[in-house]
Every structure is written in C-alpha cells, then in structure tokens.
C-alpha cells in the first residue's frame, strides 16, 4: 500500500511546491515516518521548514493551535494529527481549500507519520 500524499489538508492531486527538505534527523518510529514522508510525495504539498506550500507547513504544528476553515481552533494533538492524515478533509485548515480523499494507511504507518510530525521543531 502506498501513501501518495499525506495531509493535514493537502491537494487531491500531486501538488507542486512544498519543501524538498525532509526535516531534521530523527530516530526510531519518527525515522520511519520521515521515510514515508520522503518516499510518498508528502513534501510535494507540505514543508517541514515553515515555507508555504499547497498544504500547511508541518514545522512545529504538533501541539500548536490550528485555525480551521470553519473559524474554530483546534490543538494539533495526536488525535487531530491522526485524523488529518487519514481523512485530510475532515477539518480543513483555514486558508487551504484543496480537498483530499480519505487515506488507506496501516495504523503503524499513521503512528510513524504522527511521530515524525511531532518530532519537527518550529521553523526558525
């Protein structure tokens, strides 16, 4: 099974833009998530360095307050990150309008991606 794009609300098509960087060195399960991020096109829409892309940057998102398109705010905790990876269009981030279908990922893949996103520091 492949992950063609990961989302916290990314495009339904392969996006151009986003950072080619895959972030800082990580270990353990976060390294598995980093590999998924690298090999499955996530960086086509999401940066890990704070730069703009078709989808929101993932730099420092874990634990932060995220403004949603409906005007509400949510804490980007593990539950929100999991939901956004599996069902990116469930709660769209304000300013991003591209829809994504639900993702078919194993629990282990989602866990690895959440661990990687959680390991990303805020952009400097």
33-57 per-position pLDDT tens digit = 999 998 877 888 899 999 988 899 9
Residue 50: closest CA among 36, 64, 60, 39: 60
Q: How many CB atoms sit inside 10 A of residue 52's CB?
A: 12
pTM of the predicted model, to two decimals? 0.79
Question: Could you give the domains of the chain?
Answer: 28-119 (1.10.760.10)
The tokens for 5 are: 């794009």
Segment (H or E) for 38: helix 28-39
60-91 per-position pLDDT tens digit = 999 999 999 999 999 999 999 999 999 988 99
């Amino acid at each position: 099974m492949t992950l063609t794009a990961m989302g916290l609300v990314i495009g339904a098509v392969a996006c151009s833009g986003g950072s080619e960087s895959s972030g800082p060195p990580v270990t353990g399960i976060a390294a598995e998530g980093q590999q998924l991020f690298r090999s499955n096109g996530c960086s086509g829409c999401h940066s890990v360095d704070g730069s703009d892309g078709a989808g929101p940057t993932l730099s420092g998102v874990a634990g932060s307050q995220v403004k949603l398109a409906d005007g509400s705010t949510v804490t980007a905790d593990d539950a929100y990150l999991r939901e956004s990876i599996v069902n990116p269009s469930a709660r769209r981030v304000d300013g991003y309008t591209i829809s994504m279908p639900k993702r078919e990922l194993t629990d282990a893949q989602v866990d690895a991606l959440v661990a990687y996103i959680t390991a990303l520091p805020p952009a400097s």
